[in-house]
Amino acid sequence: MGAGIIFYFQRATEPSLAWTVAASGVSILAIPCVWRWPILRAAGLGLAFGEAGFALACLATSRAPPWVVLPHHAILVAGEVAVLDVLPQGRRITLASPSLDGGPNMRRALRIRLRDTDESRLAPGDVVEMRALLQAPSPPDYPGGWDTQRDAFFGGIDGYGFAIGPLRRLRAGGESGLTALREAVAARIIAGLPGPPGAIAATFLTGIGTAIPASDRAAFEQSGLAHLLAVAGLHIGIVMGLVFALTRLALAAWEYAALTWPTRKIAALAALFAGGLYLAITGAHVPILRSFAMASLFTLGVLTGRRALSMRGLAMAATLLMAISPASLLGVSFQMSFSAVLCLIAGHESARPWLLALGQGAWWRRPVLYGAGLALTSLLAGTASLPFAMYHFGQATLYYVPANMLAVPLAAFWIMPWGLAVLALMPLGLEHLALVPMGWGIQGVTAIAHSVAAWPAAILPVAQSPPWGLALVALGLAWTGIFRGRLRLAGLAPLALGLAAFVFVQRPDILVGPDARLIALRLADRVAVEQASGLSSFESQAPAHLWGIAAAGFDTAGPGLVCSASACRATIRGQVAVLARDSAGIDCSAAVILSAAWLHAACLTTPVIDHAFVQRAGATAIRLERLGPSLTTDQALRGARPWVITAAPHLPMATTE
C-alpha cells in the first residue's frame, strides 16, 4: 500500500481518477480467482493493496481544493482565527475561509504573521481583518528538496504572509472547542512559567511548540532529543502508563475490587481514555495518531487476552493512517515514528531472553536491567530513525544514545507527572504549584541538550541521497523487523545499499535557488555562495544539504574563482562558469552563464540561468561536463501536478469561490 502511494507521488503527470479506481476494483475482485494458489494469492494481494494505495492518493488529491492566485500587492484580509500561534517574537494566526478585499470566502486557509508590536486580544473563533502582504507557498530550495508546496496543498493552506497594518477584531468568537482549549491551556502555561521552560512545557502538554527559541530547538535537534519536542509515542506512552499504574494501584488498594473486578482491563480502559484526551488536547498530529492507534490495539489485546504489541498491530496502524492521509507517508514524522516502533518491537523481542536473564538474581540487577533497557531502546529507536533524518534534514546526530539515557528518565519520571498535575490543577487555578517543579525538570533536559550539542562533532552534514536509497532503507528495516531467524539477515543487503546510495550520485557543480537570489559554486576546496539579503534560513542551508558540507560566504580569494566588478569567473573541473552581475559581465566562451539580474544574453549557444529562467523551471542544479552543462530543474523532477505552482499558473483568481 505504501509502495502504491509512493509510486503515485513520483509520477510527473496526474493520472485519471476514474481509470485508477477501476483498476483498483478489478484487482480486488480478481483475488478470489487466485486464492487457491499461495504464490498467486500473495501477488494478487500485493497488487490489490498497491493499487488501493495509488487510488487513495489520487482520490485525496482530487478532493483537495485547488490553488487560487494571491495578489502581489497589499490587500485587506478577513477571516476567522482557526489557530493562534505564539512565536518567540510576536504571534501568527491561521485564518479559515478567508476573504480578500471583501470578496467571497476562499476554500483554503491563510497563515499570517502579525506585527511584533500588535498586542490585540485574540482567541480562536474571533473574526478579524487586517491589511497584509501575501505570497504562495515556496517551491523546493533545490531539485529533489522538500516540497513545501505539496505540504501546503494537502494541509489546506493557500499561502503565507505578514500583516502591515493593525489588526481589527470584527466579532468575538465563543472560545469553545478543542482548538480554543489548547490555545487557552498553552497561554496559561506560558504565563505561569515565563521564558523557554514555559514554551517547552506548553509543547509537552498541548503540542504547541511555536514559542520555543531557535537556539533551544537547535540544541534539541543536534543532541538527538528533537523527539521530545514533537508530541508522539513517548509522551502518550508516559501519560497512559502513569494513568494505568495509578488506576491499578487504586483498585488494588480496595479489597473488593482487587478480588472481584478485572483490574487490569479496567486500568487499560482508563489509560486509553486518558490517551484519547491527551490526543485531543495536543492536536491529533500524525505521530500521536499513530501512537494512539497502537495504544488502542494494545488495549484491545489486553481486553481479549491477545498479544498487545506486534508487527501486525503496527501494520494495522500504518494502514489506517495511510488510508486517512496518504500524503503523510512522505512526511518525516510518519517515516521516523514507524521505523522506530518497528525496530523497538523487533529488537526487544530478540533481546527478551537476555534481558530476562539480566534481571534475575540479586537486587542490584534491577537497576542494571532498567539502564540496559533504556540504552537498548535509545539505540534501536535512534538508529532506526537516523537514515530518515539524514535524508530529510541533511545531517546526522552522533550522541543520541547518551543524550536520551539522561533526558528520557527525567521526562518520564519528573516532567510528565508534574505536567499531568498541571492539567489537573488548572481548573482550580492552582497550576503554578506543579508548573514550578515541572520547570526544574525542563531546565535540566534543556541543559542536557545544550551540553551534548556542544560535544565535538555532535552533528555531521550529510550529502543528499537519492529517493531510491531511502526506499531501500525502508525495505531493509521492514524485512529485518518482520522476518525471524537467518532469513532476517537478508534485509541487511538492501539496508546497506540504501545507506551507501549517496556514493552513486553525481553531484552538481552549481546550484541556483528558485528565485535566483542564491547561487552556490562547488569549487575544489570549498563552496562559494552569493546570496541576497533576507533569504530564509531553509534556502540558505540548501547548499549544505545538497553537498553535505557547510557553505561559506562568497570568498573571491582562493583557487578556481576570479572576480571583477562586473562578473566572477569560476573554473570547475576544467569548465568555466560566469556569474554576471551586469550585462558587461557576460562571457560567451563560458560553459554556462549565471545571473541574479534580468539579463538578455547575446550568446546564442551558451545557457543563461537567470531570474526569468528559474521562474519557469524552479531551482536548478548544474553539472559541468566536457560536452556541455547538464541541467536538472525542479520543474522537470516534480512535473505538472496539482500542487506544483508554476510561474504563470492557470488558476482561478482569489476573488472566486
Q: Are residues 457 and 471 in the same domain?
A: no
CA 366, 369, 375, 379 dihedral sign is negative
Cα–Cα distances in angstroms (integers) from residue 353 to residues 312, 358, 361, 378, 458, in the given order: 22, 9, 15, 19, 34
Q: Write down the residue that cell numbers 473488593 correspond to.
A: 256
pLDDT computed for residue 506 by the predictor: 86
Residue environment code for 141-158, b if the CB has 16+ CB neighbours within 10 A, otherwise e: bbbbbbbbbbebbbeebb
Q: Are residues 39 and 128 in the same domain?
A: no
Please say if the pLDDT value at position 112 is more than 70: yes
pLDDT in tens, 285-326: 767 777 787 778 778 777 777 766 678 878 888 898 899 999
CA 395, 396, 402, 406 dihedral sign is positive
> 3-state class of 112 per DSSP?
strand
Cα–Cα distances in angstroms (integers) from residue 255 to residues 173, 260, 263, in the given order: 50, 9, 11
Angstrom distance (rounded) from CA 132 to CA 67: 19
Q: Are residues 16 and 116 in the same domain?
A: no
Q: Are residues 455 and 495 in the same domain?
A: no
Is 189 within the bounds of a domain? Answer: no
pLDDT in tens, 3-60: 999 999 999 999 999 999 898 889 888 888 888 898 999 999 999 999 999 999 999 9
pLDDT computed for residue 657 by the predictor: 33
What predicted TM-score, i.e. pTM, was given to this entire model? 0.84
Residue environment code for 265-297, b if the CB has 16+ CB neighbours within 10 A, otherwise e: eebbebbbebbeebbebbbebbbbbbbbbbbbb
CB 591 within 8 A of CB 576: yes
CB 104 within 8 A of CB 92: no
What is the DSSP pairing of strand 127-135 with strand 75-86?
antiparallel
CB 621 within 8 A of CB 514: no
pLDDT computed for residue 653 by the predictor: 40
Angstrom distance (rounded) from CA 512 to CA 506: 17
Phi, psi of 354 (to 5 degrees): -65, -40
pLDDT computed for residue 528 by the predictor: 85
> 3-state class of 331 per DSSP?
coil
Number of domains in the chain: 5
637 Cβ partners below 8 Å, 6+ apart?
143, 144
Q: Are residues 388 and 274 in the same domain?
A: yes
Is 346 within the bounds of a domain? Answer: yes
pLDDT class for 123, splitting at 50, 70, 90? Answer: confident
Domain that holds residue 97: 75-176
CA 647, 464, 448, 185 dihedral sign is positive
> 3-state class of 158 per DSSP?
strand
Long-range contacts of 583-589 (CB under 8 A, 24+ apart): none
Q: Which residue has the higher pLDDT, 442 or 549?
A: 442
In the beta sheet, which residues pair with residue 572? 575
Element containing residue 518 per DSSP (H, E): strand 518-522
CB 150 within 8 A of CB 643: yes
| 63, 95, 111 - which closes a domain | 63
Q: Are residues 448 and 523 in the same domain?
A: no
Q: Which residue has the higher pLDDT, 155 or 176?
A: 155
DSSP single-letter state for residue 118: -
Q: Which three cell numbers stand for residue 52?
A: 488501493
Q: Are residues 298 and 431 in the same domain?
A: yes
| 126, 159, 176 - which closes a domain | 176
Q: Which three cell numbers stand for residue 518?
A: 542564491
Please say if the pLDDT value at position 492 is more than 60: yes
Is 158 within the bounds of a domain? Answer: yes
Angstrom distance (rounded) from CA 78 to CA 203: 29
What is the DSSP pairing of strand 592-595 with strand 608-609?
parallel
Is 156 within the bounds of a domain? Answer: yes
Q: Are residues 624 and 522 in the same domain?
A: yes
Q: What is the mean pLDDT of residues 138-153?
A: 92
Q: Are residues 141 and 10 in the same domain?
A: no
Is 208 within the bounds of a domain? Answer: no
Is 144 within the bounds of a domain? Answer: yes
pLDDT computed for residue 210 by the predictor: 84
Q: Which three cell numbers stand for residue 420?
A: 499531568
Total residue count of the chain as it appears in this document: 657
Q: What is the DSSP string of 159-198?
A: EEEEE-S--EEEE-----SHHHHHHHHHHHHHHHS-SHHH
Rounded to 10 deg, the angle between the 178-192 and 196-206 helix axes is 150
Q: What is the mean pLDDT of residues 413-442?
A: 93
| Mean of pLDDT over the chain | 86
Mean pLDDT is lowest, of 316-330, 411-425, 516-530, for: 516-530
Q: Are residues 248 and 362 in the same domain?
A: yes
pLDDT computed for residue 481 by the predictor: 87
386 Cβ partners below 8 Å, 6+ apart?
396, 397, 400
| 114, 145, 176 - which closes a domain | 176
Q: Are residues 368 and 316 in the same domain?
A: yes
Is 213 within the bounds of a domain? Answer: no
CB 214 within 8 A of CB 88: yes
Please say if the pLDDT value at position 588 is more than 50: yes
Q: What is the DSSP string of 11-64?
A: -SBPPPHHHHHHHHHHHHHHGGGGTTSHHHHHHHHHHHHHHHHHHHHHHHHHHS
Is 182 within the bounds of a domain? Answer: no
Q: Are residues 473 and 455 in the same domain?
A: no
pLDDT class for 449, splitting at 50, 70, 90? Answer: very high
pLDDT class for 647, splitting at 50, 70, 90? Answer: low
Angstrom distance (rounded) from CA 404 to CA 418: 20
